Amino acid sequence: MECTCWLSFNLRKKNFGLNKENIAIQFELLLKEYSVARYEDSIWAFPDYPHRIKSNYGWKIHISAILTNAIQIARKFLTLNQKYHFDFKIISSIPYLEQMNMGYFGNSQVGKFITIYPDQSAVTETL
């Protein structure tokens, strides 16, 4: 029993090296790996290919994340998106994700991590 408690304490303490700074660095590297970059004066990052995102876009899909699952969710989406090339935006940094989830950018923005802008005609045909 003593050994189990010690091991459990040390695993929680180390958290496998996933502190905020390490997560932020891993996230930044992930965005670079998939050619996603932040625009100046924006909390959002966009793919390097041309997109059709407008402020009055119709259907949108929002994907949420928190600090502990942001890298996993981003990696899954970005990998899938290599096949489909959706128009999308993703929060550009882990500090911005934390601020977003605390309501710093307004209550309507809480939980937004990735926004996908699907082809409008495909959405209406699917529905």
pLDDT in tens, the chain (127 residues): 444 443 434 444 444 456 899 999 999 999 999 999 988 788 999 999 887 776 677 888 999 999 999 999 999 999 999 998 889 999 999 999 999 999 999 998 998 999 999 888 777 777 7
Name the β-bridge partners of 87.
Answer: 117
Measured CA to CA, the distance from residue 29 to residue 31 in angstroms comes to 5
* pTM attached to this predicted model: 0.80
